[in-house]
Copies of this chain bind each other. A is one copy, B any other.
Amino acid sequence: MKLLLTGFEPFGGSTVNPSEQVVRALANGALPDVELHTAVLPVDRASGPAALLRAVREFQSDAVLCLGEASGRAAISIERVALNLMDYRLADNAGNQVMDEPVVSEGPAAYFVTLPVRAMLEAMKAANVPAELSLSAGAFLCNQVLFQLLHHLALNEASTRAGFVHVPSLPEQVVNKDRLIPSMSLGIMLTGIRAAITAIANGSKDHA
């Protein structure tokens, strides 16, 4: 299976983004039966989705798994849906602040992800990684790139399966916050994302 795995650069004043760290760590390792391509996307309303779609066209992978950071969550969240809505809770790295605009004018209200989310959930839990299915990827860049990705694949009637997974903050990101929020070590994240990728690869074989 050819898999495109993406993360995001840091944003919102942070100097690290766990999704980028996961992508860089997995890029250097081998996953059985998986040909992995990776990209780190800018947190920018325009260039972020553009970079993703460029990589999608270039790699022509069987599956695309995008990662992002969801500060405050205690578990890895497997997103089920992308909304055609942008309502940024903070500005992107280019300073864009968007309220109540569609991602794609005249596009549908939402797309469901096409990765095997239940199998990914069970694989993570079997690996002792706290994980959950999520019904909302928010209305910031994470949701936006997922929507644009699924819209692109739908328009092109592509067989590529695609989805999004949010990871919690890393311990070093929360250690000096006034209010202690949950965090997850990079090791646990890597175990979880590897398990999810294996589930995607197995699902891909089932369909072959």
**Which residues on A are within 8 Å of B, measured CB to CB?**
74-75, 80-81, 83, 85, 87, 100, 108-112, 118, 125, 128-133, 135-136, 138-139, 171-172, 174-176, 180-185, 187-188
B130 and A183 contacting across the interface, CB-CB below 8 Å: yes
Q: What secondary structure prevails in chain A residues at the interface with B?
A: loop
Contact pick for A172, options B87, B128, B136, CB 8 Å: B128
A180 and B132 contacting across the interface, CB-CB below 8 Å: yes
Chain A to chain B contacts (Cβ below 8 Å), 11 pairs: A74-B174, A75-B180, A83-B135, A85-B135, A87-B133, A109-B109, A135-B136, A135-B138, A185-B185, A185-B187, A187-B187
**Of all chain B residues, which has the CB nearest A117?**
B100
Number of copies: 4
**Of all chain B residues, which has the CB nearest A133?**
B87
